[in-house]
Amino acid sequence: MTYTIHDKGLSTIIDWRDRPTGTKGVSADQRIELYKLRKWQRRVRVSDATERNLAVALSELSKLSSALSLPKTILETASVIYRRAIKRRLIRGRSIHNVTAAAIYMSCRQCGIPRTLDEIASVSTLNKKDIGRSYRFMLRELGMFVPPSANRNYAARFSNKLTISGKAEGIAIRILEIARQMKLTSGRGPAGIAAASTYIATVLTNERKTQREIAEIANVTEVTIRNRYKELLEKLMIEVPI
């Protein structure tokens, strides 16, 4: 069983082959009969409006998950979230695309996979604010707990994409840990502060990457990195070579 298919993968499919292995071909009348059976079987699998909505939504979830290179567990979790929403009649009057994007974001947050609203909005070609609005609505109505984003997950991901050393990644994570203890991460976007700590780490290990490179990877602006960078240097009293 899988929650990523509207009927949980328990239905049957009538084969399209007219000549099964080891048998003779079928007659024209039998071929017409097979066509009718296939057509009605497809209709029976999606019997009402709720089923059709679920089939479309789960297909959209699969596309988003594939575009974001997410593991199967994220897709399964997002499918369960959407099923809960449709059971509570929360989808009525709302865009399927916005709700599926919100379900993917919620699933990523629950499973500790770092993906930002900006990333999801870019692959789904939707408005970030609309996804955020649907996310908050579902969070409130479903009464779900979503842990705050872990900055260290973002730092590890950025380090991977930038192909910097393990030493630089370790320094970035350590900077974030100290910043968290000093409550410097409160009210700050996790991607921005993780990008700034990664930039500091590359400077300290002499693996210099430009702010623009890191901004493109982190999907934030150079101004955000610059502001967080200055703030971390000042508060943590870090000295970097010029």
Here the CATH number for the domain that contains residue 128 is 1.10.472.10
For position 103, what pLDDT does the model report?
94
**Angle 166-193-66 (CA atoms, 0-180°, nearest 5)?**
70
> Rounded CA gap, 109 and 3, in Å?
19
Residues 181, 130 share a domain: no
Domain boundary among 132, 147, 162: 147
Here the tokens at position 123 are 């692959």
Residues 89, 201 share a domain: no
> Rounded CA gap, 76 and 85, in Å?
14
- Does the global pTM surpass 0.85? no
For position 17, what pLDDT does the model report?
64
For position 116, what pLDDT does the model report?
85
> Rounded CA gap, 126 and 130, in Å?
7
**Residue 184: CA atoms inside 13 Å, Cβ hemisphere, count?**
23
Domain boundary among 147, 175, 196: 147
Residues 156, 137 share a domain: no
Domain range enclosing 92: 1-147
For position 104, what pLDDT does the model report?
94
Residues 100, 23 share a domain: yes
Max distance between CA atoms of the chain, in angstroms, equals 84
State how many domains the chain has: 2
Contacts of 194 (CB under 8 A, 6+ apart): 151, 152, 154, 155, 158, 172, 176, 218
Residue 225 lies in a domain: yes
Q: Are 82 and 99 in contact (CB under 8 A)?
A: yes
Residues 183, 138 share a domain: no
Residues 232, 137 share a domain: no
Domain boundary among 113, 147, 181: 147
Residue 241 lies in a domain: no
For position 213, what pLDDT does the model report?
92
Q: Are 194 and 241 in contact (CB under 8 A)?
A: no
Give me the residues of the chain with pLDDT under 70, please: 3-4, 6-13, 16-25, 42-48, 242
